[in-house]
């Protein structure tokens, strides 16, 4: 079965320092992976997605993620945090044909705090 594990429930960084949000996936097939962000009182917004093209995926707001099959990881990074990056981040994998192709399977989320 498909699943994702977000390794940190909370991450705190200072403004201007790098961000690393960790995600490991489990999949029997070549996965489709996503990162979504949720700001307070807002919907879930897609940051980026991996669908078996380039392993380094660039998203919005300066975020990027690298798909590493050998490590079953899809960590989200940003070189320099901004106060507006404070939000909850979800690592997501798509289900497979035999088990729900159009459903998304969410990780538990990582809450990112950015301090001045």
- List contacts with other proteins (CB under 8 A): 32, 34, 36, 41-46, 49, 51-52, 90, 94-95, 100-109
Q: Closer to other proteins at the Cβ: 81 or 90?
A: 90
Q: How far is the CB of 92 from other proteins (least distance, A)?
A: 8
Q: How far is the CB of 44 from other proteins (least distance, A)?
A: 4
Bridge-based pairing of strands 10-14 and 73-78 is: unpaired
Per-residue buried b or exposed e for 67-103, using 16+ beta carbons within 10 Å of the residue's own CB: beeeeebbbbebeebeeebbbbbbbbbbbbeeeeeee
Q: How far is the CB of 85 from other proteins (least distance, A)?
A: 19
Q: Which pair of structure tokens corresponds to residue 5?
A: 């594990």
Q: How far is the CB of 50 from other proteins (least distance, A)?
A: 10
Q: CB count, 10 Å around CB of 42?
A: 9
Q: Closer to other proteins at the Cβ: 6 or 73?
A: 6
Of 82, 83, 89, the C-alpha closest to 106 is 89
Q: Closer to other proteins at the Cβ: 50 or 78?
A: 50
Residues in the chain: 116
Q: Closer to other proteins at the Cβ: 48 or 114?
A: 48
């Amino acid at each position: 079965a498909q699943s994702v594990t977000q390794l940190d429930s909370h991450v705190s960084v200072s403004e201007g320092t790098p961000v690393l949000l960790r995600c490991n996936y489990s999949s029997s097939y070549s996965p489709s992976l996503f990162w979504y962000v949720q700001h307070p009182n807002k919907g879930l917004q897609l940051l980026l997605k991996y669908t078996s093209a380039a392993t380094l995926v660039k998203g919005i707001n300066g975020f990027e993620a690298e798909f590493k099959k050998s490590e079953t990881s899809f960590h989200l990074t940003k070189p320099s945090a901004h106060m507006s990056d404070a939000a909850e981040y979800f690592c997501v994998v798509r289900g497979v044909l035999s088990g729900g192709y159009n459903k998304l399977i969410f990780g538990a989320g990582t809450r990112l705090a950015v301090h001045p």
